[in-house]
Structure 1
Amino acid sequence: MTTIHSPLTDDAHKVVTEALRDALIDLVDLSLAGKQAHWNVTGPRFRTIHFQLDEVVDAARKHADIVAERSATIGSPPDGRAETVAGDSQLPRQQPGWVRDDDVVATFIGLYDGVIARMRQRAHDVERADPVSNNILLDVIEELEKQYWMWQAERG
């Protein structure tokens, strides 16, 4: 079995590994929540929200890949398996079935509020331990906050 050695100290490695693991779980689950809502949104703003949810999914998947690759880079195998995400996600569970457009907007405002708070804490936690991982998390936060603004503006 191949072992990837971390360039970080043991203490830094532990902090960064945990932050990246939890960030990956949030991002994978956010992409799944986006697809679930994308398939089930209804209402007068269906088309707009349907396409806005594509942006949620694309951004979450892009950043999940970057976070996962950083984890591998520092010697921590990323784990985005369904069972890991389902067992450890902090995102609220969505109900199955059709969802009104206003409810989708409210749901995603809430999702982004929680994910952003957790990402900001992770960025703070890794700031000194690993500036590279911190920079990656800051990029994630920048994108999440942009989308958070858009969802809030959608609420009107």
Structure 2
Amino acid sequence: MKASPTLTNNLQAVLADLIELHIQGKQAHWNIVGTNFRDLHLQLDEIVEAGRQFADDLAERMRALHALPDGRSSTVAASTNLPAFPEGLINTKDAIERTVAALEAAVGTMRKVHDEVEEEDPTTADLLHEFIARLEQFAWMVNAETMKATASVTAPDTP
């Protein structure tokens, strides 16, 4: 099978977000300060590792479909859907909010392209399913760091 231009573009959008996710995760990892530093520091490494692995899996799938992945920093910076991450030190509460936003943005891109990917290549859609499940789990776990026990399950209190 050879990927169509639509499939290639959809997968490239996901790839850019996954690369940006692991870069932002490291930026946060190196610069967080404050309450629960160590827990978040370690959690960010898990997110970074997953983001890197997912990006590699997706890029290799793209090559298997005769598409050309583009992981250059200029391409990622110009095309990611993730909100920008600030430079410098960041307190853990702000890092949690930004990390959850990045995870949700990456998942949002995957959900946006999912149906077109599924229609053309169900095997690649299976990869997206795996990525979505894991990233949503990370978002829940990171968000739980600041969630109050009185939060609604469907609409958690925002820190």
Report if TM-score (shorter chain) is over 0.5.
yes
> Could you list the per-position Cα deviations for residues 112-133 of structure 1 after superposition, in whole angstroms to 9, with x for gaps in the alignment?
2222111112222211111111
| 2:4 partner SS | helix
- Aligned-partner Cα distance in 1 for 2:78–2:146: 31
The residue type paired with residue 12 of structure 2 is R
| 1:150 partner SS | helix
- Tell me the residue number matched to 2:154: none
Structure 1 residue 15, shift from structure 2 partner: 2.2
- Tell me the residue number matched to 1:48: 39
- Tell me the residue number matched to 1:117: 108
Q: Which one of the candidate residues 57, 62, 67 is aligned to 1:71?
A: 62
Structure 1 residue 92, shift from structure 2 partner: 1.2
- Aligned-partner Cα distance in 1 for 2:68–2:103: 26
Matched, 1:87 2:95: no
Unaligned runs of 5+ in 1: 1-6
The alignment yields a C-alpha RMSD, in angstroms, of: 1.1
- Aligned-partner Cα distance in 1 for 2:21–2:129: 17
Structure 1 residue 34, shift from structure 2 partner: 0.1
Structure 1 residue 47, shift from structure 2 partner: 0.5
- Tell me the residue number matched to 2:19: 28
| 2:144 partner SS | helix
Query: What TM-score does the superposition give when structure 1 sets the normalisation length?
Result: 0.90
The residue type paired with residue 150 of structure 1 is M
> Could you list the per-position Cα deviations for residues 39-83 of structure 1 after superposition, in whole angstroms to 9, with x for gaps in the alignment?
000002110110010011000000000000011111111110111
Structure 1 residue 96, shift from structure 2 partner: 0.8
- Aligned-partner Cα distance in 2 for 1:114–1:138: 15
How many residue pairs get aligned? The number is: 147
Query: What TM-score does the superposition give when structure 2 sets the normalisation length?
Result: 0.88
State, as a whole percentage, how many aligned pairs show the same letter: 37
